[in-house]
Amino acid sequence: MVVSLQELRRVLAEEVPAARGDEDSVRRQWWAALATLQEDLLMPGLPQGGFWLASPLPALYEPALLQRLQGWVWAPAGLEALLPTPALLPGSRASAPTTAGSGFQRLALRDGDGTDPLLVLITPRLQVALALDGPPEARRLLVRFDAQALSSALQLLDRRLQHDDPQAANRLRQALQDLGTLHNDPELGLRFWPLLAQRLASMAASVTLQPLATPAGPQEPAAPPDASGELALLEALTHEVRTPLATIRTLIRSLLRRGELTPLVRQRLEQIDGECSEQIDRFGLIFLAAELQRQPGSGQPLAASELARTDLSQLLRQLEELWQRQLSRRSLQLALDIAPDLPPVLSDPARLETMLGGLMDRFSRGLPSGTLVRLALQAAGPRLKLQLSSQEPEGRHRDSDGASDGASERIGPVLSWNPGTGSLQLSRQATRQLFHRLGGRLTERGGSSLTVFFPLAERIA
């Protein structure tokens, strides 16, 4: 009988107290745990050997560690089809036997393995297993340093490898034998958790996007099984992309607190910080869109009790400076035209800010340099009308999905990709559904303008 990775998670969860975390909180803990493990515990004294096994994506991202450790990753068979650039994964050609310094070998996930992230890492002086586990209302991060749990995990992994690739199982056994006697600091757990807490405290708010989930409704069926698996993979990909970006941003902000930086160095670091924040938010929106597709009934707008009166005019003015900086990096300009004395709308201010940023990015990403982006907000009967339009240089135009230099291709229900520009963004359908969730109604006309209508708070209260 084939050992499932879900069984491995159950072994790691034995004797671990139940938790009440949500998806967002445990994902943040996962990112912080990976950074703590690699940057605080492993990188200061690089291990001379060892190995790691992960699913459904590579959990390690430090090049020095990838070069020194053997690795195996159980990944979905369709992984490369969802990546415009297969080179993003060090193991994209890892069907060959793996040795230290050669990346990792990729193996196929099976039905029943689950898509929650998992990592088992063994070095001479540090052995640990990390995993996410639990139902939606009781998610938790599992971290095991104890020999008994790790021994059970390795036995299950050996049995799984024996079935998937007997040669890989032999290499794993040989790697474990080559390490000799293993040593693990008994106080490692005491050091790990305070370091993890420090990283969690330093994470910016833009990393804390909440999944948009509601009870199932009878009018909307769940996604088909094959689509559900693809969307689960997409969610995992977005988290793994944001992991190193969040780490880079944390390091950049620690450097910015130093007083001896020259103005030029400070400017460059602030630019890197801005780029990291922008991409973290982009991939956060992709996660939310994938989550919506997988949740039955979640396409309906949030109930009025879950929304709040939102001063959209003020929110846009607060975002103006940030958008000016982002657009200027692509040689674009921004002009705001907000009518005076506009009433509030009913929405979710925190999520709406992220959605508006995603809308601006989606609309402007394919514009040629020199374009003026116009944003207008005005009353429109029982709604407020927010419109994005562009005044582009002569001789240039965009296609209907918001990108120039070629037609966009849809990648499932969530993403569109322009092969000519390499631009990956939310599809029109996903963007419309996200705004609908927050009380808005999105329309597009020929790729040259985007309009969102928001209901007035007074009419719904």
pLDDT at 213: 36
Determine the Cα–Cα distance for residues 368 and 331; give it in Å rounded to an integer: 8
**Low-confidence winner among 60-69, 89-98, 418-427 (lowest mean pLDDT):** 89-98
| Rg, Å, the chain Cα set | 24
pLDDT tops 70 at residue 418: no
Residue that is written with structure tokens 């898509």 in the block: 115
| Structure-block tokens of residue 375 | 């944003």
What confidence tens digit (pLDDT) does each residue in 21-33 have?
Answer: 777 778 878 888 9
What confidence tens digit (pLDDT) does each residue in 198-219 have?
Answer: 877 765 444 333 333 333 333 3
**Low-confidence winner among 119-123, 203-207, 305-309, 344-348 (lowest mean pLDDT):** 203-207
Mean local confidence (pLDDT), 26-55: 86
For the chain, what percent of residues have pLDDT higher than 90?
19
pLDDT tops 70 at residue 299: no
- Please tell me which residue, 212 or 20, carries the higher pLDDT value: 20
- Counting every residue written for the chain, the total comes to 461
**Low-confidence winner among 46-60, 258-272, 348-362, 363-377 (lowest mean pLDDT):** 348-362
pLDDT tops 60 at residue 79: no
**Low-confidence winner among 98-107, 268-277, 376-385 (lowest mean pLDDT):** 98-107
CATH number of this structure's domain 304-460, picked from the four choices 3.40.1400.10, 3.30.300.30, 3.40.1350.10, 3.30.565.10: 3.30.565.10
pLDDT at 100: 42
What confidence tens digit (pLDDT) does each residue in 330-386 have?
Answer: 889 999 999 999 999 888 776 788 888 888 888 887 788 899 999 999 999 889 999
pLDDT at 102: 44
pLDDT at 214: 35
- Cβ atoms within 10 A of the Cβ of 398, count? 22
What confidence tens digit (pLDDT) does each residue in 136-173 have?
Answer: 778 899 999 988 899 999 999 999 999 989 998 999 99
Q: Where are the domains of the chain?
A: 5-202, 207-294, 304-460
| Structure-block tokens of residue 386 | 């927010």
Determine the Cα–Cα distance for residues 17 and 11; give it in Å rounded to an integer: 13
pLDDT at 225: 46
What confidence tens digit (pLDDT) does each residue in 434-453 have?
Answer: 888 888 888 877 667 889 99
